[in-house]
């Protein structure tokens, strides 16, 4: 539970920092789209992190299979909403060329997801395969 509070605190500090920065920038259509993408996705990212609870780890390990909440529909909501949050923030920054950085991030995330799926499949076997069939990404 301590990690959930620490994650929440980091998220709140980040939102305040971005909010202060945005308040001093002109609101262009691209920045409005960035806000419209980043804000809800950042909130969903936070929800996904909280729902993962004690199953969260930096390195791939399988302590339990979370199948509730966002995880009942999306196998990797932290990656999905994290990537979308970054897209929104890059648009908010007003530098679309920075979206090229997203290609690097996506490549790294795909490698990480494959490693995690291998660990989960080894630990939970048929249960994980059934879970995969009923969820997206």
Could you read off the pLDDT of 96-108 as tens digits, one per residue? 777 788 888 889 9
Rounded distance between C-alpha atoms, residue 74 and residue 69, angstroms: 9
Phi, psi of 74, deg, nearest 5: -125, 125
Rounded distance between C-alpha atoms, residue 49 and residue 7, angstroms: 8
pLDDT tens track for 68-78: 999 999 999 99
% the chain with pLDDT above 70: 91
Tokens, residue 96:
């679309």
Where do the H-state alpha helices sit in 1-137? Answer: 2-23, 29-52, 77-92, 100-124, 126-133
In DSSP terms, 74 is beta-bridged to 136
- What pTM did the predictor assign? 0.82
């Amino acid at each position: 539970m301590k990690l959930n509070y620490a994650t929440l605190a980091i998220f709140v500090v980040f939102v305040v920092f971005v909010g202060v920065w945005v308040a001093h920038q002109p609101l262009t259509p691209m920045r409005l789209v960035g806000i419209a993408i980043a804000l809800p996705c950042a909130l969903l990212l936070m929800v996904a992190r909280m729902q993962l609870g004690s199953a969260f780890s930096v390195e791939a390990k399988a302590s339990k299979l979370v199948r509730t909440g966002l995880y009942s529909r999306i196998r990797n909501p932290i990656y999905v909403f994290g990537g979308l949050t970054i897209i929104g923030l890059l648009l908010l920054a007003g530098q679309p060329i920075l979206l090229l950085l997203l290609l690097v991030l996506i490549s790294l995330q795909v490698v990480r997801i494959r490693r995690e799926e291998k660990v989960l499949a080894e630990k939970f076997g048929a249960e994980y395969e059934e879970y995969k069939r009923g969820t997206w990404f």
